[in-house]
Structure 1
Amino acid sequence: MSRSVLVTGGNRGIGLAVARAFADNGDRVAVTYRSGEPPEGLMGVRCDVTDPAQVDAAFKEIEEAHGDVEVLVANAGVTRDGLLVRMSEEDFDAVLETNLKGAFRVAKRATLKMMRARQGRIILISSAVALAGEVGQSNYAASKAGLVGFGRSLARELGARNITVNIVAPGLTATDMTASLPEERFQHIVNQVPLRRAAEPHEIAHAVQFLASPNASYITGAVLPVDGGVAMGH
């Protein structure tokens, strides 16, 4: 049965792969994006998840077109890397504001309708960095680790309403963001991955689709690493 699906930050990279996977499955898919252009063939809504008013307006637009959101994938995220001694409070706050508080805003808005319907799926896109840490990414790691505690708390709050909340933790993935890394840096990261390669975006999308499917109806509060083994043991 076709569902109303929202993917935040869905006009490129992992978010776009997730959105296309749901669309290919026959779902009614909308994506939010802050910059760039909306993806062809999908409903695109410009929205900055750091602005509560824009989040509410985006949901209203999507609800009018596709109905209440039944599957939410909170994927929107930013990086502002730097060593702690050089990191400004602005850079630390900006990453948490988008990656963690942005997920809070969209999850809260989606949950209002999911609770009334007594069903729903929420998938938060975290990172292997949240589990293993990374030099120069203390703000990013903190924001993505926060999603684990946030998601597991929601899983306990919402489970009685048949709403599952799970977390996917991708590792290094072949996207425009990683393509901008210097070759030496990219290869250094790959060498730490047991499978010795980066993930393809569709591999992350498959994990998200599984957690949103009937096959995962008894899974909630889980952290699913899709990282080639880089964060195993954490």
Structure 2
Amino acid sequence: MSERPVAVVTGAASGIGAAVVVALQERGFAVAGMDLVDIDTDGVDHAVRADVSDGAAVAAAVDAVRGSLGPVHAAVSVAGHYAMAPVDQIEVTAWRRMLRVHLGGFVNLARACLPDLVAHHGALVAIASELAIGGGEHDAHYAAAKGALLGAVRSLAAEVAPAGVRVNAVAPGPTDTPLLASDSPWRAPDYLDTLPLRRLALPHEVARCVEYLVCDAGFSVGDVVNVNSGAVI
């Protein structure tokens, strides 16, 4: 068992999730990384494979974390995927997958961790998206799933705040991670020139916002921190 507080981070194998692992470790957490693919075990205190859209798998993974490190004090829902398509070309299976992974992944993690979070007055943070707020051309299914996620965050925040659990979200704009293909329109100079900062967000910048909500924002409940290079002001 760890003598440090324990955090669970989904989507921990790369990108924002991997950066969140580093940020929370630097703040003294023992961090368990959960992903659908193998995680570099040198970078986390406990690694577990699970599909976040599978509630039973997430519950079993969190039980394994408890057995290895101890009760969960913080949970961060990062796992997700991104795709663009005109709305009339989005298959029903793609709509459902977006919702299962982004909304379902958050809900499954919350349900698995909430008993511990209540016991320890912990924190739960979800990674949303600026597209949940502003929408985007050819992003209907992704924006809808992230918008649903924000609704769940705010509702759950109101539900569990009296028990001492803080639930918040970070809504990044396009971020320089493997999720964005090299030919993504979000990487195009014409798009970057529309941003006040003229660049993509970086994973460690998003992670620092997560760290703040977990460790320092004791009065934040149901809030959304926008990290988007000024795309949404």
TM bucket normalised to smaller = over 0.9
Rounded to whole Å, the distance in 2 between the matches of 1:37 and 1:223 is 28
CA distance in 2 between partners of 1:184 and 1:112 (Å): 39
Paired residue for 1:129?
A: 131
Provide the rounded CA distance (Å) in 1 between the counterparts of 2:185 and 2:112: 41
Task: Check if 1:181 corresponds to 2:166.
Answer: no
Cα deviation for residue 147 of structure 1 reads 1.4
CA distance in 2, matches of 1:64, 1:184: 42
Larger CA deviation: 50-59 vs 201-210: 50-59
Find out whether 1:156 has 2:158 as its counterpart. yes
Query: Are the structure 2 counterparts of residues 29 and 55 from structure 1 closer, same or farther at C-alpha, using a change threshold of 3 Å?
Result: same
TM-score (norm 1): 0.93
Q: Give, in whole Å, the separation in 2 of the partners of 1:38 and 1:135.
A: 35
Change (3 A) 1:35 1:118: closer
Q: 2:9 aligns with which of 4, 7, 17?
A: 7
Q: Distance in 1 between matches of 2:174 and 2:92?
A: 26
Do the aligned partners of 2:126 and 2:169 also contact (CA within 8 Å) in 1? yes
Matched, 1:59 2:62: yes
CA drift of 1:52 comes to: 1.6
Q: What is the one-letter code of the residue matched to 2:218?
A: S
Q: Does 1:102 align with 2:105?
A: yes
C-alpha change, 1:93 and 1:188, in structure 2 (3 Å) is: farther
| Structure 1 residue 37, shift from structure 2 partner | 3.7
Name the CA shift for 1:78/1:184 in 2 (closer, same or farther; >3 Å). Answer: closer
Q: Which residue of 2 aligns with 1:120?
A: 122
- Preserved CA contact (<8 Å) 1:178 1:186: no
Q: CA deviation at 1:50?
A: 1.3
1:24 CA drift (Å): 2.1
Shift of 1:41: 2.8
Structure 2's unaligned 5+ residue stretches are: none
Check whether the contact 2:74–2:117 (CA below 8 A) recurs between aligned residues: no
Aligned partner of 2:128: which letter? S
In the alignment, which residue of structure 2 is the partner of 1:222?
223
Match of 1:49 in 2: 52
Where 1:160 maps in the other structure, the secondary structure is helix
Runs of 5+ consecutive residues of structure 1 not aligned to the other structure: none
Residue pairs, 1:140-155, within 5 angstroms:
140-155=142-157
The separation in 1 between residues aligned to 2:187 and 2:231, in whole angstroms, is 16
1:118 Cα deviation after fit: 4.9
Matched, 1:27 2:29: yes
Offset from partner CA, 1:127-146 (integer Å, 9 cap, x none): 11111111111111011111
**Cα distance in 2 for residues equivalent to 1:169 and 1:184:** 16
Deviations 1:144-164 (CA, angstroms, capped at 9, x unpaired) = 111111111111111111100
Structure 1 residue 36: Cα displacement: 4.2
Is residue 2:75 matched to residue 1:72? yes
Q: Give TM-score, length-normalised by structure 2.
A: 0.93
Match of 1:206 in 2: 208
Mapped contact 1:80–1:91 kept (Cα < 8 A):
no
The letter of the residue matching 1:190 is L
Aligned-residue offset at 1:185: 5.2
State the SS of the aligned residue for 1:5.
Answer: strand
Letter in 1 for 2:219: Y
Aligned pairs, number: 230
Whole-Å separation in 1 of the counterparts to 2:125 and 2:4: 18
